[in-house]
């Protein structure tokens, strides 16, 4: 009888995991295909310079998205997953996180205003930065962490695809010349906000969440509990969005446009692994550290094999891919940059496995923070140096070196059996 119940439970658990993976795989497919439709059109119609300006603004606004997310994309996911059967507790967690996010939105808006009107480089295009800020609001309204925690990834997939479809379809009707560049962040922000509102409707109607006013002590506990993850996320931004941002400070909008065009393709490749890790995270976070280590080890070989194959394809056909997608001489002549960045597929897929999935699942937030801060500082230093002397090529080399360092750190902490005794005692 016990064996039958256990078998039934494991079957249901496996079915949920596969359903979540499939939903996120479909989403990632849309994330891969839709930009391939809109990106070449935007580059051609806006021109490299205006496109670069729009991408520079997006890279800048990502800092504010990180502030408002504040690590809840991981910590709140874990909390929701643990208390998923307690509706009262879920309502408290949801209400607290959303309240903190609203406060952080206002703080971010004030900070944005201060920066924009304090520096001429930003003030000249102030409308662009405020329109792009709508992404911050939309991101805050869309509680991906809630859907991940209750393991209903299909809502994330459906809503994200809706947002991207709105953006992609409207682009072809609204963007007709370089002077329409302000409509790009406007449409992007509207897509995020509409989806955010739809997600809240689903949460209140289907999951029957209630608004609960949390106590100050609980707000403080929730806020402080995610602080190390916030620092980690800021550090991650130091080697993701910061590269485009720093390139924009050292060079011009045209160079940023070329780099951003290539980077968008690299990110599409990099994000191939995201559905798997997002689907596994709530499931893995309920395992003991020993079990988690075994599961991670089983993934190393297939992930390495697949990512190596992807890297090889991109490296061999780099020039052909850029010609096929953009058909712009200004971009195609930098195919070597694409070849260099192709190796991100290998290094990033594995360091995400160790640093994002494993360390977060076992709640080794401090160790993850140390890794991200160290790597982030390293990246900023090396990007400033290499970009100054080698422009686009220097930025690409800096990214690869950073990914390699991340992987070295990830393997080191994984092999060190991070705080196993302490963590298992804490869980008990």
329-373 per-position pLDDT tens digit: 788 888 999 999 999 888 988 988 888 788 877 877 778 778 888
Given a cut of 70, whether residue 418 has pLDDT beyond it is no
Kindly report the CA angle at 344 between 304 and 247, in degrees rounded to 5? 170
Q: What is the pLDDT of residues 136-184, one digit of tens each?
A: 999 898 888 888 787 777 777 777 777 778 778 888 889 999 899 999 9
- The DSSP-derived string for 197-220 is HHHHHHHHHTS--------HHHHH
Given a cut of 70, whether residue 271 has pLDDT beyond it is yes
Mean pLDDT along residues 46-70:
89
What pLDDT is recorded for position 130?
Answer: 95
Say what the alpha-carbon torsion angle 83, 88, 89, 93 is, to the nearest 10 degrees: 120
Q: What is the pTM of this model?
A: 0.75
Cβ(337)–Cβ(262) under 8 Å? yes
Can you tell me the distance from the alpha carbon of 349 to that of 404, in angstroms, rounded to the nearest whole number? Answer: 11
Smallest CA-to-CA distance from 305 within 346, 265, 266, 273 is with 346
Cβ(141)–Cβ(193) under 8 Å? yes
Angle, to 10 degrees, between the axis of helix 2-69 and the axis of helix 318-325? 70
Mean pLDDT along residues 272-279:
73
Can you tell me the distance from the alpha carbon of 212 to that of 182, in angstroms, rounded to the nearest whole number? Answer: 39
CB atoms within 10 A of CB 198: 17
Mean pLDDT along residues 3-23:
56
Given a cut of 60, whether residue 419 has pLDDT beyond it is no
* Buried b / exposed e along 404-428 (16+ C-beta atoms within 10 A): ebbbebbbebbeeebbeeebeeeee
Min mean pLDDT across 228-242, 250-264, 307-321 is at 228-242
Given a cut of 70, whether residue 17 has pLDDT beyond it is no
Min mean pLDDT across 230-244, 257-271, 326-340, 379-393 is at 230-244
Given a cut of 60, whether residue 5 has pLDDT beyond it is no
Can you tell me the distance from the alpha carbon of 229 to that of 224, in angstroms, rounded to the nearest whole number? Answer: 10
Given a cut of 60, whether residue 421 has pLDDT beyond it is no
């Amino acid at each position: 009888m016990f064996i039958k119940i256990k078998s039934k439970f494991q079957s249901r658990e496996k079915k949920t995991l596969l359903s979540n993976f499939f939903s996120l795989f479909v989403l990632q497919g849309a994330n891969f295909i839709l930009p391939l439709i809109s990106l070449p059109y935007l580059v051609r119609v806006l021109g490299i310079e205006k496109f670069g300006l729009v991408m520079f603004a997006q890279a800048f606004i990502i800092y504010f998205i990180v502030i408002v997310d504040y690590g809840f994309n991981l910590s709140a996911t874990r909390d929701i997953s643990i208390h998923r059967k307690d509706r009262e507790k879920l309502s408290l967690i949801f209400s607290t996180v959303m309240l903190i996010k609203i406060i952080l939105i206002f703080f971010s808006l004030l900070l944005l205003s201060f920066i924009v009107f304090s520096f001429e480089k930003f003030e000249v295009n102030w409308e662009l930065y405020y329109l792009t800020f709508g992404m911050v609001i939309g991101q805050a309204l869309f509680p991906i962490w809630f859907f991940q925690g209750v393991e209903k990834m299909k809502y994330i997939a459906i809503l994200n695809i809706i947002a991207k479809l709105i953006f992609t379809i409207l682009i072809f009707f609204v963007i007709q010349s370089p002077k329409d560049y302000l409509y790009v962040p406007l449409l992007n922000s509207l897509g995020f906000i509409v989806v955010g509102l739809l997600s809240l409707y689903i949460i209140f109607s289907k999951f029957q969440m209630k608004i609960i006013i949390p106590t100050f002590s609980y707000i403080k506990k929730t806020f402080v509990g995610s602080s190390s993850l916030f620092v980690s996320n800021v550090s991650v931004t130091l080697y993701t969005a910061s590269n485009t941002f720093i390139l924009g400070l050292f060079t011009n909008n045209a160079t940023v446009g070329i780099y951003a065009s290539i980077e968008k393709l690299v990110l599409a490749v990099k994000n191939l692994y995201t559905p798997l890790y997002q689907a596994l995270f709530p499931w893995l976070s309920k395992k003991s550290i020993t079990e988690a280590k075994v599961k991670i080890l089983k993934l190393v070989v297939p992930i390495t094999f697949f990512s190596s194959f992807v890297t090889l394809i991109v490296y061999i056909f780099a020039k052909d891919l850029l010609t096929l997608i953009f058909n712009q001489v200004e971009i195609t002549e930098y195919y070597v940059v694409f070849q260099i960045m192709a190796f991100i597929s290998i290094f990033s897929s594995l360091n995400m496995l160790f640093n994002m999935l494993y360390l977060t699942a076992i709640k080794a937030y401090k160790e993850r923070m140390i890794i991200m801060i160290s790597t982030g500082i390293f990246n900023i230093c090396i990007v400033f140096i290499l970009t100054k002397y080698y422009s686009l090529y220097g930025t690409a080399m800096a990214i690869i070196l950073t990914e390699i360092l991340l992987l070295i750190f990830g393997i080191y902490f994984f092999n060190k059996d991070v705080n196993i005794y302490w963590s298992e005692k804490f869980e008990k």
